[in-house]
Amino acid sequence: MTNKIAPSILSADIMNLERDVKMAEAAGADLFHIDIMDGHFVPNMSFSPSVVEGMRKITDKPLDVHLMIDNPEEYIESIVKAGADTVLVHAESTNHTYRSIQMIKQLGAKAGIVVNPGTALENVKELFPIIDQILVMTVNPGFGGQKFLSGMTKKIQRLDQLRQTSAADDFQIEVDGGINDETITKCADAGADIFVAGSYLFGSDDFEGRINKLKDLVED
């Protein structure tokens, strides 16, 4: 399995999104992470399905769409139709996680479940056989630029162990929040495969230097 870096466009210059996406692509971004927030599930608002549609027009890289919204079932279809390759639904946002994952897959996209820092892995274990990805939040969701919660490293480790001990489970582990040149190594050592990074990459004048550094640190 090759480790991947996913720039989070939440930290891009929104007035120059196409420029930033092209720059990230040229610098070696493996995929793009798009945060959709509704101001209810998380105390912030961000992109809508039209941004996914716009992104689909300007890049061929996979689009990893993170739904931080209540009632995600109502938006899954429009997100997949807009061009998402992977749709990630929060375990805390619906009583129908299994149905949501099934919906995403029936629409032809990859499906992932997201767990907040306070959510136990046991709550999502039944989904392991049907998901493609599990996103472990390493900050409280809603904002870029927060500090990595160091306690999450053990959670990633336990998840990797669970994955290894269950033959039916073939999903990738993604981490999101506070990823930089120090925290990425901890997550990679713990077993993560996909690393979302926002402010560390877009907050620098040397995007290329930073993405290369992250790639070097998690080369497998």
Say which residue the tokens 């629409």 belong to.
107
Catalytic residue of the set 20, 64, 132, 176:
176
Asked if 209 interacts with ligand 5SP (CB under 6 A), we say no
DSSP 146: P
CB of residue 100 to ligand 5SP, shortest distance in Å: 18
Task: Check if 189 is active-site.
Answer: no
Binding of ligand 5SP at residue 179 (CB under 6 A)? Answer: yes
How many angstroms from the chain centroid is the CA of residue 175? 7
Is residue 176 annotated as a catalytic residue, yes or no? yes
Question: What residues contact 162, with CB distance under 8 A and at least 6 apart?
Answer: 121, 125, 128, 169
- 30, 35, 132, 193: the catalytic one is 35
Q: Is 199 annotated as a binding residue?
A: yes
Gap between the Cα atoms of 85 and 56, Å rounded: 10
Q: Among 3, 4, 10, 24, which residue interacts with ligand 5SP (rule: CB under 6 A)?
A: 10
Assigned token pair, 27: 């610098």
d(CA 78, CA 72): 11
Among the listed residues 72, 112, 177, 191, the single contact to ligand 5SP using CB under 6 A:
177
Which residues inside 126-155 make contact with ligand 5SP, applying CB under 6 A? 139, 141-146
72 binds ligand 5SP (CB under 6 A): no
Other C-beta atoms closer than 10 Å to the C-beta of 163 total 16
Q: How far is the CB of 197 from ligand 5SP (least distance, A)?
A: 5
In the list 115, 178, 191, 195, the residue contacting ligand 5SP (rule: CB under 6 A) is: 178
Q: Which of 1, 21, 23, 26 is nearest to 10 (CA)?
A: 21
Neighbouring-strand partners of residue 88: 66, 112
As annotated, the binding site for a divalent metal cation includes 33, 35, 66, 176
Q: Give me the active site residues, please.
A: 35, 176
Binding site for ligand 5SP (CB under 6 A): 8, 10-11, 33, 35, 66, 139, 141-146, 176-179, 196-200
